[in-house]
Amino acid sequence: MKKLFIKLLSAVFILSVLALLLGTVPSSVTAAADGAQIYKKQCKKCHGKKAEGKRQKKNPEKYKYAPLIKLSQQELLESLLKYQQMWNKKSWENKIEKKMAKATKKLDEAKIKALSEFIVTLK
Ligand code: HEC
């Protein structure tokens, strides 16, 4: 009887610890997960799985889609905000800029931050 009580007690204890852990996942972890998700859905098709970019078929020295791994988190952040502003003001100068500007259409500042945090982890 006593043994069963101890088993029950430890089960309750383990479950409480689990609940505590699940409730307190740091926001940086969720932000990274979020960034990974957005990248996969909205960026990967052009910039590649590892943000390595895509070269032009006819002229492989040049990129069709820029690699992103060389950029710092701050540079990514600023770049994305710039393209978003470009989209909002419809102020792109060519088709290439327009393509990237449009890609920021569905983002907000939190998503842009999460993306910048995620992309630097692809290095
Ligand atoms: C339709 C294809 C396409 C998609 C989708 C796309 N991009 Fe781009 N991206 C481009 C092109 C093309 C450029 C180069 C634009 C230029 O020369 O101004 C670019 C440039 C960039 C740059 C600047 C690179 C540099 O060296 O300055 C960043 C940062 C960037 N993209 C991030 C992203 C992120 C993050 C996403 C997902 C939200 C994304 N892109 C989705 C096509 C795309």
Among 121, 44, 50, 116, CA closest to 83:
116
Q: Kindly report, residue by residue over 74-100, the tens digit of the pLDDT.
A: 999 999 999 999 999 999 999 999 999
pTM of the model: 0.80
What's residue 3's pLDDT?
Answer: 75
What's residue 10's pLDDT?
Answer: 72
For a ligand 1 pocket test, name from 37, 47, 85, 93 the mutation site with the most ligand atoms within 8 angstroms of its C-beta: 47
Count CB-CB contacts under 10 A for residue 17: 10
Domains and CATH numbers, the chain: 27-122 (1.10.760)
Closest CA to ligand 1's atom 8: 100
Per the CB < 8 A criterion, the answer to whether 53 and 63 are in contact is yes
For residue 69, give the 3-state DSSP assignment: coil
Closest CA to ligand 1's atom 41: 43
Does 26 score more than 60 pLDDT?
A: no
